Amino acid sequence: MDLPYTRIKGGVCAPRDFQGSAVSCGIKDPKSDRLDLCLIYSDRECRSAGMFTQNRVKAAPVRISQTHLRSEGVRAIITNSGNANACTGPNGMQDARNMTKEIARLLELKQRDVAVCSTGVIGLPMPMMRIEPQYEALAAGLDPKKGTDVAKAIITSDTHEKEVAISLKIGGKRIRIGGCAKGAGMINPNMATMLCYITTDANLSQTALEAATEEAVENTFNRITIDGDTSTNDSVIVLANGAAENKKIQPESKNCINFRHALQFVMNKLAKAIVRDGERVTKFIKLEVKGARSHNDAKKVAQAVANSSLVKASWNGEDPNWGRIIHAVGYSGASIREEFLNISYGSKLACEGGMQSKTNPEVLRNIVSKPEFSITVDLGLGEGEYQIYASDLSPEYVDFNRSEYAYWKQAKRDGLV
């Protein structure tokens, strides 16, 4: 799978003529020096594409970035973690606008060339008094070696940064694609509390870039789930600066197909890393649905199974409980015939024709005791297929998410509420 690609270092700054910068301004925790404000910058003009949350409650930075990306020339992205700038009204919009404006001034760009993202707690005013004093240090700190710092600055409850970079030859020229992402909670298709930035030095047409981005997101970030919650801030932004000086990649060309595969490879690595590092996750499950009457039916089944609390609790408990899977299949809304339904853990049938198979449950238990395993639900009705990456639900996830009240207390100490 890796075969056509060379893994390289540098993450989101691995492609030529991209730089990064990150500082700590105490949004996540005023008492720590954790990085929480960062910048990605291309030395050259860029083509850019983005995809954003389908939640109808959209954070201010999502609205601003969507507008700026319509101009197709975004070449810098400022991000803070610790506060989502969501449900913050006109003041929140002004804060997000100011972040792009100040960075544009320092980098001598137009304001619409700068995108902005925020991730963290919803509903609290942005602590701009912590962010504003850091703009100059942020711009001055740009460095092509700081991809990992950027990856660290965007995480919240993730346990570690997530980055990947590859190079490959397209039309005889070597091009690079790099990326970083953050996830943790509120992860569900369409999309997640996730941010993902992808950079590439490939030269490609705007149409080719947009189509490749949309396709890759659909096949990767829209197919992961941790808790079934879609956040207000999900953003994937792709910048392409053409520094590799390859012949411009046109839509539908062979070169374009190669680029799309490579982009999807990078996003897939990041998407899987998000699930594996989900909040208090102990299991990574590849769930394949096939034999559905339609693609849409297969998707319904995959989402119902992957988001059932009872199914997920059984994964946490290493219990090969196909009864809970079949009950989620039954309420998914998809057409089913119980007597045609097969469910397998790994390659072993657990449920055959809607009933318990002959497989020894101890064999199934050994499979679900592993940290990663696959489950196949075959409806036996048609050609519809869908695949999703899912995680278990642990008592520790619930415990971890019981309260964000400490953030309110901090906001009160800061005089923001």
Active site residues: 193
| Residue 378, strand partner residues | 290, 342
- Beta-sheet strand order (sheet of 348-352): 224-225, 384-391, 284-292, 372-378, 342-345, 348-352, 355-356
Site for a copy of itself, residues 289 to 318, rule: CB under 8 A? 308-310, 313-314, 316-318
How far apart (Å, rounded) are the C-alpha atoms in residues 337 and 280?
36
Number of residues that this document lists for the chain: 417
Cβ proximity to a copy of itself: between 35 and 121 the closer is 121
Q: Which of 96, 115, 122, 126 binds a copy of itself (CB under 8 A)?
A: 122
Cβ proximity to a copy of itself: between 359 and 374 the closer is 359
Q: Which of 1, 347, 403, 415 binds a copy of itself (CB under 8 A)?
A: 403
Q: Is 33 in the site for a copy of itself (CB under 8 A)?
A: no
Cβ proximity to a copy of itself: between 80 and 134 the closer is 80
Q: Which of 73, 144, 171, 353 binds a copy of itself (CB under 8 A)?
A: 353
Q: Which of 7, 30, 32, 57 binds a copy of itself (CB under 8 A)?
A: 57
- Judged on CB neighbours under 10 Å (0-12, 13-18, 19+), 395 is exposed
Cβ proximity to a copy of itself: between 123 and 382 the closer is 123
Q: Which of 26, 178, 183, 228 binds a copy of itself (CB under 8 A)?
A: 228
Q: Which of 81, 118, 200, 232 binds a copy of itself (CB under 8 A)?
A: 232
What is the x/- site pattern for a copy of itself, positions 151-190, by CB under 8 A? Answer: ----------------------------------xx-x-x
Q: Which two tokens stand for residue 228?
A: 């079934």
Q: Which of 37, 76, 121, 217 binds a copy of itself (CB under 8 A)?
A: 121
Asked if residue 176 lies in contact with residue 200, where contact means CB atoms within 8 angstroms, the answer is: yes
Q: Which of 224, 262, 326, 381 binds a copy of itself (CB under 8 A)?
A: 326
Q: Is 93 in the site for a copy of itself (CB under 8 A)?
A: no
β-strands 173-182, 384-391: how paired?
unpaired
- Beta-sheet strand order (sheet of 76-83): 18-23, 37-42, 76-83, 114-121
Q: Is 342 in the site for a copy of itself (CB under 8 A)?
A: no
Q: Is 383 in the site for a copy of itself (CB under 8 A)?
A: no
Cβ proximity to a copy of itself: between 201 and 378 the closer is 378
Q: How far is the CB of 377 from a copy of itself (least distance, A)?
A: 12
How many residues belong to the site for a copy of itself (CB under 8 A)?
A: 70
Q: How far is the CB of 357 from a copy of itself (least distance, A)?
A: 10
**Stretches 29-37, 120-128, 265-273, 382-390: which one binds a copy of itself (CB under 8 A)?**
120-128
**Stretches 96-104, 153-161, 166-174, 398-406: which one binds a copy of itself (CB under 8 A)?**
398-406
Cβ proximity to a copy of itself: between 136 and 396 the closer is 396
Site for a copy of itself, residues 363 to 382, rule: CB under 8 A? 365
Q: How far is the CB of 249 from a copy of itself (least distance, A)?
A: 35
Q: Is 137 in the site for a copy of itself (CB under 8 A)?
A: no
Q: Is 106 in the site for a copy of itself (CB under 8 A)?
A: no
Asked if residue 119 lies in contact with residue 234, where contact means CB atoms within 8 angstroms, the answer is: no
Chain residues that interact with a copy of itself, rule: CB under 8 A:
54-58, 84, 86-89, 121-125, 185-186, 188, 190, 227-232, 308-310, 313-314, 316-324, 326-331, 336, 338-339, 351, 353-356, 361, 365, 393-399, 401-405, 408, 412, 417
